[in-house]
Structure 1
Amino acid sequence: MQGEAGYGFIISLDTQGSGAVPDPQRPALRNRIYEVAEGAFERAGLAEEVLFQEDRGDGILAVVEPRRTERVAGEWVEHLHQNLRAANAGAARPLRLRVGLAVGPVTPDGHGFSGAAVDLACRIGNCAEAKRVLAAAEGAPLLIAVTDGLYQDVIAPGGRWIEPDHYRQYTTELPEGPYRPWFMVPGRQTPPLPGEGDAPAVGEADAQAGAGERRAPTGAGQTREGRTGEGQTGDGNSGGDHFHFGPVTHDGSGSILQGQFGDITFDHRGGER
């Protein structure tokens, strides 16, 4: 059964180097992921704006109310960074996260949401360049990757805790072809070039394989590429009336969300994948 499409702010969060984490340590890793991410939603005043949240084993996929684009790109990102710094203090294995952000149409069904914007957020946060940039940023716990459309519409104008000049654009190869996301490492003036400086993080050697020639970074004036799945990022009036939601809870093994999106009611329980 298909629901009516509406706009959403998509957040795809993945753990860097999670493949090297032994199974006995994974429950603690997952608890830390939820603590820092959901704590950031609370501190940014977005806890009630989370329309959907899905467990991804070593990450989270969330859809946030689309009228909160600046708050997600600014306050939520900053609180996530500070929560990670606090959680990693004295940790033997620091938690390092990659986050892909996109805005676009999403369609609900009985299992969650789908849409090109969902795919794009996941792919730019998990692409080879994202892994290489974070691997090169020694000591940094977080990398943010945003679509070109989101950068032009939300990041470039600036806002509370949004610093456009801290982003840099790199070309990456997605299944659909070349694409140019914008990357930012909180706490750094600009992100490092992919692969420069430090050796890959443990478990990330595969990110170095198959690296092709990279284009030099460009400024915001470059022609935009690959806007697939992106759309209105202003007040969210397009499709915004279709979002109705209830509480999101986490029981340690996944997330449970109960609510409505248009005339579709869903009860999603995430499990480790």
Structure 2
Amino acid sequence: MEGEAAYGFIVNVDAQGSGLLSDTEKPEMRRRLYDVTGTAFEQAGIRPPRLYQEDRGDGILGVLAPDVPPVRVLGEWVEHLHQNLRESNRHLRKPLRLRVGLHIGRVTADAHGRSGRAVDLACRLADCGVAKAILKAADGAPMVVAASDRVHEDFILPGGRWVDPQHYRRHDVELKEGRTTAWFMVPGRSRPPEPQEPPEEHEPLEAQEQERDTADGPSGEKPPRSQAPKDTEASRSTEASEGTKGRFVQNIHQHGGGDVFAAERIETINTDRRGGDR
């Protein structure tokens, strides 16, 4: 019923590099996108009304009815999509490459589509920097799967037909809502490659703070502030210059009484006492 949240498995598909396509190329990309994904759903036995699909321009949002076993999506649908992409991309100069985000949770339906935090997370996973970087590093691979931690724990770990938990690699990703754990898989490979570039668009706050601390000093500590000597009423200024062949000259201008101690070896000291002891 409209306006009420229902439990569903969410599949979000995004095309990699679609922003680089011209207006004349995008219609063909969208045609192929709907062809390979729709055929995969048909091959996996998932059809309307158990499948809802919503156009997202360069992608498709899909929500499955609660009675559709998630393992059928993770296994059969993913494998059929992979093979359909391989066949569709054969001999193409610009192959279609897809990022798939998977999550499960509450989804609210209205006259305009589907919404909810679970929908947001599935879309974020498909669009996250780690997914983009993994697919970029997986030269020749047509797709990458990004599953939420919940999907991994409840449906990937138990395994199933064409579902092997050993093929997934864990990464912590930084999303707009905060940091979360996701699991990535590249069909046709035993493990996905490591991202070869900074995966996140926004650097985590703690990383920024660590970078600032490192810049303050080699040991990560902020350099101590200079303090006036406690044994004089006025400050002393020290000017040092290093000459050739290790010769070291230090000029000390002292105002007031007190002693001066130098830790370095000094060959020449020029002292100027102005006013003498007070």
Question: What are the ranges of 5 or more consecutive residues in structure 1 without an aligned counterpart?
Answer: 197-205, 214-273
Q: Distance in 2 between matches of 1:99 and 1:172?
A: 15
User: Does the 8 Å contact 2:99/2:126 carry over to 1?
Assistant: yes
TM-score (norm 2): 0.70
- The residue aligned with 2:12 is 12
Matches within 5 A, 1:16-165: 16-48=16-48, 50-67=50-67, 68-165=69-166
Aligned to 1:234: none
Residues 174 and 200, structure 2, Cα contact 8 Å, conserved in 1: no
Shift of 1:2: 5.0
Determine what percentage of the aligned residue pairs are the same residue: 54
Q: Secondary structure of the residue that 1:154 maps to in structure 2?
A: helix
Q: How does 1:208-247 map to 2 (within 5 A)?
A: none
Distance 1:137 1:208 in 2: 18
Q: More deviation in 146-155 or 62-71?
A: 62-71
The alignment's C-alpha RMSD in Å is: 1.8
Give the match's secondary structure for 2:131: helix
Could you tell me which runs of 5 or more consecutive residues in structure 2 were left unpaired when the two chains were aligned.
208-278
> What is the TM-score normalised by the length of structure 1?
0.71
Q: For residues 209 and 9 of structure 1, do their structure 2 counterparts lie closer, same or farther at Cα, with a shift above 3 Å needed?
A: closer
**One-letter amino acid matched to 2:103:** A
From the superposition, tell whether residues 122 and 7 of structure 1 become closer, same or farther in structure 2 (CA, over 3 Å): same
Which segments of structure 1 move beyond 6 Å, counting only runs of 4 or more? none
8 Å CA contact retained: 2:156, 2:164: yes
Q: Is residue 95–residue 141 contact of structure 1 (8 Å, CA) maintained in 2?
A: yes
Which protein has the larger Cα radius of gyration, Structure 1 or Structure 2?
Answer: 2
The size of the alignment, in residue pairs, is: 204
The answer (yes or no) to whether the contact 1:66–1:103 under 8 Å persists in 2 is no
Cα shift at 1:194: 1.2
Secondary structure at 1:180 match in 2: strand
1:3 Cα shift? 2.1
Using the alignment, how far apart are the partners of 2:91 and 2:50 within structure 1? 31
SS at match of 1:143: strand
Give the secondary structure class of the aligned counterpart of 2:188: coil
